[in-house]
Structure 1
Amino acid sequence: MQTILITGTSSGYGLETARHFLDKGWNVIATMRRPDAGLFPASPKLRLLPLDVTNDESIAATVAAAGPIDVLVNNAGIGLVGAFEATPMAHVRKVFATNTFGVMAMCQAVIPQMRERRSGVIVNVTSSVTLAAMPLAAAYTASKQAIEGFTGSLAPELGYFDIRAKLVEPGYAPTTRFAQNTDVRIEDLIPPAYAGFATPIFEAFGRPAMTTKETDVAEAVWDAVHDTSGRLQFPGGPDAVALYEARNG
């Protein structure tokens, strides 16, 4: 039975993806900074491990404790919304530390065992902002675009060793806690000069024509894991699918 390690499983897409693979009979290693067994159904196939993807020692300890990993899903991420002019660089660096460098560090920690076995799948979860950039999210968009390029380069590099690298691009889900884990209020990053621009954008967020459910993303991850073609991108959710199709014809 195959084993999947998923980062950022305390809520949202990561939590639902872990539940989805558990339901399918996989061995699931669900990681988060502070493991909470109450989030999951009791299962002998579930292991909870602490993980901070911005900490090299935490990554090394978690990968060592996990044992053989057949599939790595890099889902852990943080959001950041605001006018870039008003966004402190400390917040920008924090977003990149998790969304970009954390993903890269996890890949680097797991690739050696996959290379030695000449098998494995890495799924990097980005965002639909990589399909159509979202205003007032410049730093977040940049952090996710970096992983798009990273994965596109990694895929043929790892393909030489029969390891598949894939991208899952979730759409907008109102139920996710986007931007709540950067310890900054959105209001503080919208100067008065930007109010006229920002107000209609935030109002549109409140009434999206199409929204993504956590189950949409879990299914996209499932599809990506099982895809043996050269396909790289897997949009998750109807809004992401629409953007993907518009861009790719």
Structure 2
Amino acid sequence: MKTVLITGCSSGYGLETARHFHAQGWRVIATMRTPRKGVLPDSDRIRMLPLDVTDPDSISTAIAAAGPIDVLVNNAGIGVVGAFEATPMSHVRKVFETNTLGTMAMVQAVIPQMRARRSGAIVNVTSSVTLAAMPLAAAYTASKQAIEGFTGSLAHEMSAFGIQVKLVEPGYAPTTRFAQNTDIDIADLIPEAYAAFAEPIFAGFAKPTLTTKESDVAETVWHAANDETGRLRFPAGADAVALAQARYGTLSSKQV
């Protein structure tokens, strides 16, 4: 029985991904800052652990408690929507601490055991904003673009040890709590000077042409974790797939 450790499982993509791996017969280590009973099935193949990806002690404690990990899914992240001019640098740093440095710290913590076994997979969840930049999300986009570059380089390093490294690029899912997991009110990040610019953008968010379902992401993460072809990028959801095809053409190539 293989074991997957998933970060950010309290809701959204992470929660659905944990459910999907469990349904496939895997042992699931579902992590979140504050574990909540009832969000996942009561099963001896599911274990919830507290984990804050910005806290080194929390990371080491969770990794030790999890035992051998076959697949690491870095899903934990925070979003922010607003004009960059109005976004406090303290919040920009918070976004990078979680989305970028938190992912890197988790990878660094799990590599030694995978390298010793010469097997394993690391799946980093980014966003379709890396395929086509979205306005009013500059800090978030930058934090995810950094992980794209990091993952591409890491994939080359890890190939020498039989470790697969993958990117999953989800599209926009209206059901997720994007930008609701911070302590900043979106209204504070849209100054009057940006109101006319922001209005049609938010209207588009409310009625998107193509969207992504949480199940799309869970299934794509599953496929990426089990892929041994050397392919790097896996867009998830109809909108992300359309953007990826526009940027890269065929999705059957390695795309490294």
Interval of TM-score (by shorter of Structure 1 and Structure 2): over 0.9
CA distances 1:10-40 after superposition (whole Å, capped 9, x unpaired): 0000000000000111000000001113101
C-alpha displacement of 1:181: 1.4
Amino acid at match of 2:47: R
Distance (Å, rounded) in 2 between the aligned partners of 1:37 and 1:9 = 12
Paired letter, 2:122: I
* Paired residues for 1:10-89 under 5 Å: 10-89=10-89
Residue in structure 2 matched with residue 142 of structure 1 by the alignment: 142
Aligned counterpart, 1:161? 161
Residue 121 (str. 1) matches residue 116 (str. 2): no
Which residue number in structure 1 is paired with residue 170 of structure 2? 170
Q: CA deviation at 1:158?
A: 0.4
Q: What is the rounded CA distance, in whole Å, between the counterparts of 1:24 and 1:245 in structure 2?
A: 29
1:191-210 residue pairs with structure 2 within 5 A?
A: 191-210=191-210
Query: Which runs of no fewer than 5 residues in structure 1 stay unpaired?
Result: none
Alpha-carbon distance between aligned partners in 2 of 1:188 and 1:36, rounded to the nearest angstrom: 30
Count of matched residue positions in the alignment of Structure 1 and Structure 2 = 249
| Deviation of 1:182 (Å) | 1.5
Structure 1 stretches of 4+ moved >3 Å: none
Q: Distance in 2 between matches of 1:37 and 1:196?
A: 43
Q: Distance in 1 between matches of 2:59 and 2:212?
A: 30
Q: Structure 2: which amino acid aligns with 1:241?
A: V
Alpha-carbon deviation of 1:185? 0.8
Partners of 1:181 and 1:16 in 2: CA distance: 18
User: What's 2:231 paired with?
Assistant: 231
Q: CA–CA distance in 2 between the matches of 1:4 and 1:37?
A: 19
The Cα of 1:42 is off from its aligned counterpart by: 1.0
SS at match of 2:38: helix
Structure 2 unaligned regions, length at least 5: 250-256
Instruction: Please tell me the residue identity of whatever aligns with 1:110.
Output: V
1:214 aligns with 2:214: yes
The separation in 2 between residues aligned to 1:114 and 1:67, in whole angstroms, is 12
* Distance of 1:4 and 1:31 partners within structure 2: 11
Identity across the alignment (%): 74
Find the aligned partners of 1:150 and 1:156 in 2 and give their Cα distance: 10
Give distance in 2, aligned partners of 1:61 and 1:45: 20
Structure-1 residue corresponding to 2:9: 9
Q: Measure, in 2, the Cα distance between the counterparts of 1:189 and 1:165.
A: 35
Q: CA deviation at 1:141?
A: 0.0
Distance 2:177 2:140 in 1: 14
Query: What amino acid sits opposite 1:5 in the alignment?
Result: L
1-structure distance, mates of 2:132, 2:98: 21
CA RMSD of aligned residues (A): 0.5
Would you say 1:107 and 2:92 are equivalent positions? no
What is the rounded CA distance, in whole Å, between the counterparts of 2:32 and 2:20 in structure 1? 17
Letter in 2 for 1:57: D
Task: Give the distance between the partners of 1:182 and 1:90, measured in 2 at CA.
Answer: 12
